[in-house]
């Protein structure tokens, strides 16, 4: 390890000495060439050039040597060590970015604009390239230089920063160039005191910082989405669990009575109850279920009520087979059916008819539960409103603003509750489905549902 460290130090010393000797020799040879040309063109005058010329040449060479020493010191401070790559006035870097080229372009442009002393950035998005200029430290581009200050006129006043992005499949590669705004031949005579090394290091760190911030933001968003998903699922499960339990108790009590008086009907009721419970068991992955499955559960529920209510309850279901695969929050259809029977048909003398209909509309699929019961103002309601409140909350959690719910008066009497959820549109289907049965269904008299983005409730149904 000590031998390797000594070797690295030896290479650094050789590189530093080579740079120093190269620039001093370049200035010395240039002085000799100028002296030779002076003697050739002005042979009729005093030759060789006088002492003032050689003093000026020696002074320029010493100034260049001092500048090289300053350059070596500054690069060693910035890089911690010196080699041919860190000592060069023309820096090159290649950075691989795990993102699309357009996104990387914006990220690198922001990092380039944060570069110290940057004055102008010219982005060219079509060619995925950026160009910027940075004044040299201590140089004021606005200050006028006197005509006699030849050294100031010949000095390099600014550096160029160029970035080119090469897109790939889901990733990209950025090529960074930081170099003096002058020809390469100027490198034989002058150094940049580590300015371009500082530029490219600052730009690389800024890009790395922005990529790290992007990753942290993605991780935070992923964790937030996971937490939101778990919270939403928990709330949906809680809302799903808030189902009126009296139905189960009443059904079992009726089955117990029928078991003593009418065993076949008791057996039939228990069979429907089993079918209903099989579809109603809460499962975490069952927050959504097909409309066809919801219909099966609802039909089992209606069959049980028909045994209790007898001829006072009639049901008419009009749902196209093509719409039975539409996903729907579990137990939502039954909530509407329970409300229609509990608040509309059951308290009405003689009962009535319940309609369940589904149709395709512009905004998705409209599912309507209508009845010809007492209506919104027919009788004082004993409902608490928690059923419809849960329904609206579940719609919001599941669909956001893509779903709507309306509760309106039916004609000539009763209530029509309509859900609109995202789903396929059936080509050639009318806005109102055809009615069936001896009595016309009130489909054509339903008040058109309101547009999505708004939940509408009229009355005190639960």
Domain annotation covers residue 414:
yes
* pTM flag (> 0.75): no
Domain annotation covers residue 456:
no
- Kindly state whether residues 28 and 78 are assigned to the same domain: yes
pLDDT of residue 460: 39
Instruction: Single out the residue in 39, 71, 87 at which a domain terminates.
Output: 87
Q: How many domains does the chain have?
A: 3
In a 10 Å sphere around its CB, with 0-12 CB exposed, 13-18 middle and 19+ buried, how is residue 14 labelled? exposed
- Kindly state whether residues 209 and 291 are assigned to the same domain: no
- Give residue-wise pLDDT tens across range 115-148: 888 888 999 999 999 999 998 876 666 667 665 5
pLDDT > 50? residue 362: yes
pLDDT > 70? residue 448: no
- Kindly state whether residues 83 and 162 are assigned to the same domain: no
Domain annotation covers residue 232:
no
Cα–Cα distances (Å) from 175 to 105, 130, 172, 195, in that order, read 12, 10, 10, 18
Distance CA 397, CA 92 (A): 52
Phi and psi (nearest 5°) for 348? -85, 130
pLDDT > 80? residue 63: yes
pLDDT of residue 28: 86
- Kindly state whether residues 68 and 115 are assigned to the same domain: no
Domain annotation covers residue 455:
no
Domain annotation covers residue 237:
no
- Kindly state whether residues 95 and 73 are assigned to the same domain: no
For range 54-61, the mean pLDDT:
84
For range 56-78, the mean pLDDT:
87
pLDDT of residue 42: 60
Domain that holds residue 12: 1-87
- Kindly state whether residues 368 and 304 are assigned to the same domain: yes
Distance CA 292, CA 323 (A): 8
Cα–Cα distances (Å) from 314 to 81, 273, 317, 347, 379, in that order, read 91, 19, 10, 15, 21
Contact predicate 414/422, CB 8 Å: no
Measured CA angle at 240 (ends 238, 246), to 5 deg: 105
CA dihedral 8, 12, 17, 22 (to 10 degrees): 120
- Give residue-wise pLDDT tens across range 225-251: 777 777 766 665 665 555 555 566 667
Give a three-class secondary structure readout of the chain: CHHHHHHHHHHHHHHHHHHHHHHHHHHHHHHHHHHHHHHHHCCCCCCCCCHHHHHHHHHHHHHHHHHHHHHHHHHHHHHCCCCHHHHCCCEEEEEEECCCHHHHHHHHHHHHHCCCCCCEEEEECCCCEEEEEEECCCCCCCCCCCCCCHHHHHCCCEEEEEEEEEECCCCEEEEEEEEECCCHHHHHCCCCCCHHHHHHHHHHHHHHHHHHHHHHHHHHHHHHHHHHHHHHHHHHHHHHHCCCCHHHHHHHHHHHHHHHHCHHHHHHHHHHHHHHHHHHCCCHHHCEEEHHHHHHHHHHHHHHHHHHHHHHEEEEEECCHHHCCCEEECCHHHHHHHHHHHHHHCCCCCCEEEEEEEEEECCEEEEEEEECCCCCCCCCCCCCCHHHHHHHHHHHHHHHHHCEEEEEECCCCCEEEEEEECCCCCCCCCCCCCCCCCCCCHHHHCCCCCCCCCECCCCCCC
- Give residue-wise pLDDT tens across range 179-190: 998 888 888 888
- Kindly state whether residues 304 and 403 are assigned to the same domain: yes
pLDDT of residue 146: 63
- Kindly state whether residues 289 and 418 are assigned to the same domain: yes
* C-alpha closest to that of 306 among 345, 356, 278, 333: 345
- Kindly state whether residues 338 and 382 are assigned to the same domain: yes
- Kindly state whether residues 186 and 265 are assigned to the same domain: no
Domain annotation covers residue 420:
yes
- Kindly state whether residues 252 and 272 are assigned to the same domain: yes
pLDDT of residue 433: 34
pLDDT > 50? residue 23: yes
Domain annotation covers residue 11:
yes
Sorted by sequence, the CB contacts under 8 Å of residue 118 that are 6+ apart come out as 112, 132, 133, 134, 161
State the CATH number of the domain containing residue 321.
Answer: 3.30.565.10
For range 64-84, the mean pLDDT:
87
Contact predicate 326/421, CB 8 Å: yes
Instruction: Single out the residue in 55, 87, 119 at which a domain terminates.
Output: 87
Dihedral sign (CA 93, 98, 104, 107): negative
- Kindly state whether residues 78 and 132 are assigned to the same domain: no
Instruction: Single out the residue in 65, 87, 109 at which a domain terminates.
Output: 87
Which two tokens mark 92? 């090159």
Q: Quickly state the pLDDT bin for 369 (edges 50, 70, 90).
A: very high
Q: Quickly state the pLDDT bin for 285 (edges 50, 70, 90).
A: very low
State the CATH number of the domain containing residue 206.
Answer: 3.30.310.80
For all residues of the chain together, what is the average pLDDT? Answer: 78
Domain annotation covers residue 452:
no
- In DSSP terms, 102 is beta-bridged to none
Contact predicate 97/220, CB 8 Å: no
pLDDT of residue 270: 80
* C-alpha closest to that of 67 among 186, 148, 162: 186
């Amino acid at each position: 390890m000590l031998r390797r460290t000594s070797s690295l130090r030896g290479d650094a010393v050789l590189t530093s000495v080579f740079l120093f000797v190269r620039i001093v020799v370049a200035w010395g040879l240039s002085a000799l060439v100028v002296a030779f040309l002076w003697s050739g063109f002005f042979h009729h005058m005093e030759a060789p050039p006088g002492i003032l010329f050689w003093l000026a040449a020696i002074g320029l060479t010493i100034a260049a040597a001092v500048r090289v020493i300053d350059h070596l010191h500054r690069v060693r401070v910035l890089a911690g060590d010196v080699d041919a790559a860190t000592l060069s006035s023309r820096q090159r870097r290649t950075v691989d970015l795990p993102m699309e080229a357009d996104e990387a372009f914006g990220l690198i442009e922001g990092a380039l604009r944060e570069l110290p002393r940057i004055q102008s950035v010219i982005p060219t998005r079509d060619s995925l390239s950026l160009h910027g200029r940075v004044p040299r430290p201590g140089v004021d581009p606005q200050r006028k230089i006197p005509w006699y200050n030849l050294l100031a006129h010949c000095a390099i006043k600014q550096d160029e920063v160029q970035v080119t992005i090469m897109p790939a499949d889901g990733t990209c590669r950025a090529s960074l160039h930081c170099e003096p705004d002058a020809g390469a031949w100027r490198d034989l005579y002058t150094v940049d005191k580590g300015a371009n090394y500082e530029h490219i290091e600052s730009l690389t760190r800024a890009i790395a910082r922005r990529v790290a911030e992007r990753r942290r933001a993605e991780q935070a968003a992923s964790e937030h989405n996971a937490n939101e998903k778990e919270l939403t699922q928990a709330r949906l499960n809680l809302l799903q669990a808030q189902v009126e339990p009296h139905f189960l108790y009443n059904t079992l009590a009726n089955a117990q009575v029928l078991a003593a008086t009418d065993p076949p009907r008791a057996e039939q009721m228990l069979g429907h109850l089993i079918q209903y419970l099989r579809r109603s068991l809460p499962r975490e992955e069952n927050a959504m279920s097909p409309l066809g499955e919801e219909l099966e559960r609802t039909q089992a529920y209606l069959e049980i009520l028909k045994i209790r209510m007898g001829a006072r309850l009639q049901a008419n279901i009009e749902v196209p087979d093509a719409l039975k695969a539409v996903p729907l929050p579990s137990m939502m259809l039954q909530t509407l059916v329970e409300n229609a029977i509990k608040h509309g048909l059951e308290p009405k003398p003689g009962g009535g008819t319940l309609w369940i209909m589904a149709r395709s509309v512009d905004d998705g699929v409209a599912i309507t539960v209508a009845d010809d019961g007492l209506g919104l103002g027919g009788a004082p309601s004993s409902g608490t409103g928690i059923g419809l409140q849960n329904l609206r909350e579940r719609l919001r959690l599941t669909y956001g603003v893509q779903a709507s719910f309306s509760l309106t008066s039916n004609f000539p009497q009763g209530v029509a509750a309509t859900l609109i959820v995202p789903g396929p549109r059936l080509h050639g289907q009318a806005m109102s489905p055809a009615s069936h049965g001896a009595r016309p269904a009130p489909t054509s008299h339903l008040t058109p549902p309101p547009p999505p983005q708004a939940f509408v409730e009229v009355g005190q149904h639960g």
